[in-house]
């Protein structure tokens, strides 16, 4: 990575003296339980230099046109690519237990962990850090912390946004620039705690990855991000229906979560799937009324 400055490289090796891997995925959608990985890329930085991993993957299902519009990966491009069961062991060997960095990392790691568990692979003791979380802590003046916004604000070159290798490079630049900015101002290393999410091996390798029978119908609704009402066994509306727009079903260390936009609080929240007692779909008119509520 010839464009990684000496200051960035120094600060990265200061915080991660043994090495670190920045990675990114392209997928058919946002939920590893129903969607598939179609590209994995990573950049490993050690004291010895850089190493890259970059592979397209045959997902075994058609790539939805709306996702192709984002990443420009077509069914034809992956037709002869290897499948995930042969690629995921190679990627695990590549990361070799090094700390991992990704942008909105819980989504990417959710896919990796899901496929590792499906293929009976041991989860490494790799710490996971999120460049988006770090950016929110350091660059508080920015309007948002999407990768496209950050590369513009931080003057980072990004040629092919939404292709995994280019996004992994951009993620690494964002992370190192945030570390350097904070360290220059505060002269301490505690900022890394703000970016830490969890260790990969904190996931239960015997975790139940299936959706409970009573809410099995959530899967297609998550795929379409159709607004629904859920009855949750906790929180300020315990036992009552609350309107949400589901975004993703993700494996997390404590079990499956439904990541959704809560219309009551207007916040993005994680709901433990095991605590969702019931859900109901909305009529077309109710959908329209909820959309109006969101836009007001």
How many whole angstroms separate alpha carbon 292 and alpha carbon 83? 43
Contact 225, 236 (CB under 8 A): no
Q: Mind telling me the catalytic residues? A: 162
pLDDT of residue 2: 53
What pLDDT, on a 0 to 100 scale, did the predictor assign at position 216? Answer: 79
pLDDT at site 294 = 64
pLDDT tens for 155-192 read: 998 888 889 999 999 999 999 999 999 888 776 678 89
Residue in 138, 160, 173 with CA at minimum distance from that of residue 1: 173
Domain positions in the chain are 6-202, 213-295
Token pair recorded at residue 69:
């519009």
* Residue 116, both tokens: 């590792």
Residue 99, pLDDT > 90, answer yes
Structural class in CATH, domain 6-202: alpha beta
The pLDDT value given to residue 236? 83
Please give the average per-residue pLDDT across 256-277, as a whole number: 90
Residue 99: φ, ψ to 5°:
-55, 150
pLDDT value at position 239? 86
In this predicted model, what pLDDT tens digit does every residue of 33-43 receive, in sequence order? 889 999 999 99
Contact 154, 174 (CB under 8 A): yes
CA distance 166 to 158: 6
pTM score, two decimals? Answer: 0.90
Burial (CB count within 10 angstroms: exposed 0-12, middle 13-18, buried 19+), residue 292: exposed
The domain made up of 213-295 has a fold known as: SH3 type barrels. (2.30.30)
Residue 229 has pLDDT above 70, yes or no: yes
């Amino acid at each position: 990575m010839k464009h990684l400055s000496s200051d960035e490289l120094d600060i990265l090796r200061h915080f991660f003296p043994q090495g670190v891997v920045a990675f990114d995925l392209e997928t058919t959608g946002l939920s590893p339980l129903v969607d598939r990985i179609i590209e994995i890329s990573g950049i490993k930085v050690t004291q010895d230099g850089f190493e890259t991993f970059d592979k397209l993957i045959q997902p075994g299902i058609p790539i939805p046109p709306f996702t192709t519009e984002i990443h420009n990966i077509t069914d034809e491009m992956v037709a002869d690519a290897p499948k995930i069961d042969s690629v995921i062991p190679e990627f695990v060997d590549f990361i070799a237990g090094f700390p991992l960095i990704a942008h909105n990392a819980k989504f990417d790691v959710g896919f990796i962990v899901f496929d590792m568990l499906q293929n009976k692979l041991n989860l490494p003791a790799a710490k996971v850090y999120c460049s988006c979380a770090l950016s929110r802590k350091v660059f508080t003046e920015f309007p948002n912390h999407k990768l496209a916004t950050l590369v513009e604000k931080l003057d980072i070159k990004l040629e092919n946004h939404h292709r995994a290798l280019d996004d992994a490079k951009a993620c690494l630049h964002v992370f190192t620039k945030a570390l350097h900015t904070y360290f220059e101002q505060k002269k301490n290393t505690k900022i890394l705690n703000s970016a830490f999410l969890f260790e990969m091996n904190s996931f239960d390798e015997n975790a139940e990855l299936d959706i409970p029978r009573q809410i099995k119908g959530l899967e297609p609704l998550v795929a379409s991000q159709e607004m629904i009402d859920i009855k949750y066994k906790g929180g300020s509306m315990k036992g009552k229906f609350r309107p949400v727009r589901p975004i993703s079903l993700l494996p997390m260390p404590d079990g499956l979560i439904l990541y959704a936009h809560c219309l009551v609080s207007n916040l993005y929240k994680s709901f433990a799937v095991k605590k969702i007692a019931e859900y109901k779909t909305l009529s077309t008119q109710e959908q329209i009324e909820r959309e109006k509520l969101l836009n007001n």
